Amino acid sequence: MGIEGRLDISFQVEGGKVLGVGIASSRPLRITSLFAGKSPEEVLALIPSLYSICGTAQTCAAVEAFEQALGLHVSPSIRAARDVAVWAETAREHLLRLVMMIGRPSERFGVAEIMPMTQQMKAALDSVFKLGSKGDDGGYAGDLAEHIERLDDFLARAVFGEPLSTWRARQGSAMLAQWIAAQSTDVAVLLGQIEQKGWRDIGGAGALDGLPLLKGVDLVNAMKTDDFIAFPIWQGHSYETTPLARQAQESLIRDLMAQSGTGLMTRLAALLVELAKIPDHMRQLLDGSKSETIGEVKEGIAKTAEKGIGLAQVEAARGRLAHAVWMDKGEVSQYRILAPTEWNFHPQGVAAKALKALSFAYGDVTELKAQADAVISAIDPCVSYEVRIT
């Protein structure tokens, strides 16, 4: 078992009903104790080797937490460049998740193209992840433009089968159904299969309860405790932080939620909505049109009110990632990481509720296992998992 650990998901069933769902995690949440006594540079060198999943988002959160603790300031253009790198990683993670759900993607999907596209973007931006980076003040934008265009072309050809602007103009579930019927891309076929199986609404368990913006000082205090890191609850709620939570206000997603709640089709559509927006969002970040706003938002949710303490909240592929650091005489005294998996796969969280809402034909646990895999994949843990049915 790798450093990431895994989730053990157990079903208690009787007849065609799910009586209960248990989620146990073996994720090594206290591994950050290794950072105690180390310098910021030493910790930043360790982060990529310890966190291979969403490593760019982890590095971004770490460097921004240290910068706040040390009182270092970076320009809006550096913040924007870091966000571009995180969005590149998000595109990759969403695409790989779709590959896993498709099973055997066609040549058209071009799986071999995915990794180089995003790795080249990250390589072009390595300098912006240094503490207090001055970068090259936006000189990387020209190099990135070609990579962003390649991502745009890939998504249009392999995922959507049409220009991204055309797909983004689909404003309701009827237009989504038209797209599924008209397109032969692997993703359209996947959604068509979900419709045919009658799985459109599976895993829909009540209204969306998206994680709100959390004030820095309150979150830092909560992150001091082991229980909160392992089982986060905020003001009595177990919140969801997913692409669905991020895209909930898009018209297509609002329409799908009105019809199908937070079921499987809604979640996959939200992932596609986010994917279709990423290239244009990257371009806007690089041309500076959103840099100041992003900087202001990050500062607003990160302030901790104490010197030597730093907090960063980053929207990673699977949801919001938080890093908190406490410094003493230039070294780390305490370091905590709260990943989106702890919110989404909390024992009373969205995954548990979605899985408990599943039903199946009497005695057909194979069907239940298949549905569970689809729902878990759509919510998307950052670690492997095993499903047991008793």
Distance between CA 16 and CA 311 in Å, rounded? 46
Q: What is the pLDDT of residue 144?
A: 86
Q: What is the pLDDT of residue 1?
A: 37
| pLDDT averaged over 10-residue windows placed end to end, the chain, 390 residues | 77 88 90 94 93 92 96 91 95 95 87 83 87 72 85 96 95 94 96 96 89 92 94 94 97 94 96 97 82 45 72 96 96 96 96 92 84 96 92
Q: What is the pLDDT of residue 73?
A: 92
- Give the closest residue to 204 by CA, choosing from 89, 45, 371, 323: 371
Domains in the chain (CATH in brackets) are: 6-389 (1.10.645.10)
Distance between CA 243 and CA 301 in Å, rounded? 20
Q: What is the pLDDT of residue 82?
A: 93
Q: What is the pLDDT of residue 137?
A: 53
Q: What is the pLDDT of residue 303?
A: 59
Q: What is the pLDDT of residue 42?
A: 97
Q: What is the pLDDT of residue 294?
A: 39
Q: How many other CB atoms are found less than 10 A from the CB of residue 30? A: 11
Q: What is the pLDDT of residue 306?
A: 75
pTM of the full structure: 0.92
Q: What is the pLDDT of residue 289?
A: 47
Q: Are 66 and 74 within 8 A, CB to CB?
A: no
Distance between CA 113 and CA 144 in Å, rounded? 16
Q: What is the pLDDT of residue 3?
A: 62
Distance between CA 221 and CA 191 in Å, rounded? 43
**How many CA atoms does the CB half-sphere of 246 hold within 13 Å?**
23
Q: What is the pLDDT of residue 150?
A: 93
Q: Tokens for 194, please give them.
A: 């979900």
Q: What is the pLDDT of residue 24?
A: 95
